[in-house]
Chain A
């Protein structure tokens, strides 16, 4: 089964700072999802990356997919307290399990004003 490892596990930054969260897969990536979760709430879909080298942005959040490295990175520019939460990467399980998502363990982001 495919496993995702996120780093760092937690991150504390000062408002205005840039930061990067990484998601590394144990197998080839055929598409990767990024979600954000606030404690006690559901997941908010941020973006999906399908192709190697693909890069997408949503407001101040940019995500890239590096197929060769089996890795995706999420970069937040000029972080704000509203960016705080848990960031989760997920992949389709593939094969007969297509449609199911496997998630990384999450990265807890704290942004101090």
Chain B
């Protein structure tokens, strides 16, 4: 149980184009999902909190107009990198929060490797 998928796993795009990454909780519903970015040999950096049915909450320094997040259902959140540039190349990972009693555990997707040429 508690499986999270991401699609695509890898994407290469030209500078200036937009890329959409999907995050799905396959066997549970998640009102809250999170999007992280990870640079080589570094830990995860939280970008935003995706809330089903409401606007995402972005961390300080993350441009909300550049990284569009939509959480239209309890099992799907999408991250769209608009007008991508080479500096946006990174590993993007999502997680979905599963509540059990008084605890919440985040289960992570396998990640998406974005390369912008």
Give chain A interface residues in 79-113, CB to chain B under 8 Å. Answer: 88, 92, 99-106
B108 to A35, Cβ gap below 8 A?
yes
* Min CB–CB distance B11 → chain A (angstroms): 14
Asked if B110 contacts A42 (CB within 8 A), the reply is yes
Take A42-B93, A106-B43 as given contacts and tell me if A99 and B104 are in contact as well, using a CB distance cutoff of 8 Å.
Answer: yes
Q: CA of A41 to CA of B38 in the docked complex: distance in angstroms? A: 11
A48-B105, A105-B42 given; A42·B6 CB < 8 A: yes
Interface residue tally on B, bucketed by range: 20 to 34
Interface residue SS majority, chain B: strand
A99 near B49 (CB under 8 angstroms)? yes
Chain A residues near B106 (CB-CB < 8 A)? 33, 45, 101
B34 in contact (CB, < 8 A):
yes
- For the complex formed, measure the closest distance between the CB of B50 and the CB atoms of chain A, giving whole angstroms: 11
What residues of chain B lie closer than 8 Å to A41, measured between beta carbons?
110-111
- Residues from chain A with a CB closer than 8 A to the CB of B6 are 42
| Contact status of A105 and B43, CB under 8 A, knowing A42-B93, A45-B2 | yes
Contact A100 B46 (CB under 8 A): yes
Does A42 lie within 8 Å of B109, measured CB to CB? Answer: yes
Identify the closest chain A residue to B10 (Cβ): A40
Q: Which residues of chain A have a CB within 8 Å of any CB of chain B?
A: 31, 33, 35, 40-45, 48, 50, 88, 92, 99-106
